[in-house]
Amino acid sequence: MIPPTLDFKTGVGYISADAHVALNTGFKIGVDAKRTEQHDDLKTFIVTLSYDGGAETTIDNVTIASAQAGEFTKDYDLTTRNQSGTEKYTFTVTNRDGLITTKSITVTVP
Please report the pLDDT score of residue 61 as a whole number: 98
Higher pLDDT, 33 or 38: 33
Q: What is the DSSP letter of 66?
A: G
CATH number of the domain encompassing residue 57: 2.60.40.3880
Q: How many domains are contained in the chain?
A: 1
Residue 28 domain-assigned?
A: yes
pLDDT digits (tens, 9 = 90+) for 36-82: 999 899 999 999 999 999 999 999 999 999 999 999 999 999 999 99
Residue 15 domain-assigned?
A: yes
Residue 109 domain-assigned?
A: no
Please report the pLDDT score of residue 103 as a whole number: 98
Q: How far is CA 32 from the centre of its chain?
A: 9
Residue 25 domain-assigned?
A: yes
Residue 110 domain-assigned?
A: no
Cα separation, 32 vs 75, whole angstroms: 9
Q: Which domain holds residue 60?
A: 5-104
